[in-house]
Amino acid sequence: MTSKTAGPTPPGNLAPRPQSVLKVNKVTAADITAALKAGYADFCAHPALSGFFGLFYVVFGLLMVWCLLWLNQIWLIIPAIVGFPLVAPFAAAGLYEISRRRQKGEPFGWSDILTVMAHQRKREMGWMAFVTLFIFWVWVYQVRLWLAIILKNASFSDLNGFLTTVFFTPEGWTFLAVGTCVGAGLSAALFAVTVVAMPMLLDRETNFVTAMLTSVRTVTENPLVMLIWAAIISVTMLLSLLPAFLGLIVTLPILGHTTWHLYQRAVPPGGS
């Protein structure tokens, strides 16, 4: 019997689709080691294709620095370089796809990998790109804020003057200390919401909110191991920036491939 008080049943395509809570595994330092080995194997299997993403990242970084010098925005160079690795998770999408296809034994060529982001346009990877770029924007804005508050009387006519002020004056040391603390907080927030979310959105039909929440759960349920992984990423990326970004040609692909394999260990396929 049909209820008289019940309203019309909405069409299937308009009915809300509940998102199941995905299972999150406990991961250990051994999982990081195994993921690193698998990531290195992925890089060695396709060094040219994987290295292309690292090279693209390097060229973009060098162009960024050149543009800031050309625009005489000296104060932006250091925060831009330090904050540059924040967008690495989004830049690594093609690397996740290489690892995914290798893991499944699927054939692929350059066009399949280089167009992976175009294939994601009907899904929600773009929202994660927005989150990543927004946090990068907040990072740059807060640097400008602390420059105005702490170094308000300093003059940055050239790069040497800026470096001298920042590294060899008490005000500069205060600026570095405050900026480092705020930057660490932003980096931790971005790491928590993206470390699993980025590869998950490439791998599964899910929304970006579910992906971010699963990523945060992975971090909160494995705090020590994920802290170790965050430290490995941070130290490796910062050291890779020193020789004119060139180290990123190798380290970015390996870290990207490793992130995929760590995600696979942290969030089991089909787990809910």
pLDDT computed for residue 149 by the predictor: 84
Q: Please give the pLDDT value at position 117.
A: 65
pLDDT band at 170; cut points 50, 70, 90: confident
Give a yes or no: residue 195 inside a domain: yes
pLDDT tens per residue, range 90-137? 677 889 989 999 988 888 888 888 777 666 656 667 777 778 878 888
**For residues 22-37, average pLDDT:** 92
Distance CA 65, CA 93 (A): 24
| 16 has pLDDT over 50 | no
Residue 14 lies in a domain: no
User: In this structure, is residue 19 part of a structural domain?
Assistant: no
Cβ contact 54:92 at 8 Å: no
User: Is residue 5 assigned to a domain?
Assistant: no
Residue 15 has pLDDT above 60, yes or no: no
| Most confident region among 20-24, 78-82, 183-187 by mean pLDDT | 183-187
Domain for residue 257, yes or no? yes
Structural domain contains residue 40: yes
pLDDT one-digit tens code per residue, 188-240: 888 898 888 888 988 888 888 888 999 999 999 999 999 999 999 988 988 88
Average pLDDT over residues 172-187: 85
Look at residue 123 and tell me if it is in a domain: yes
pLDDT confidence tier of residue 154, bands split at 50, 70 and 90: low
Which of 26-30, 51-55, 89-93, 181-185 shows the lowest mean pLDDT across its residues?
89-93
**pTM across the whole model:** 0.79
Query: How many domains, in total, are found in the chain?
Result: 1
pLDDT one-digit tens code per residue, 45-94: 999 999 998 888 888 888 888 888 887 777 777 777 777 666 776 677 88
7 within domain boundaries: no
Which residue range(s) make up the domain with 245? 29-266
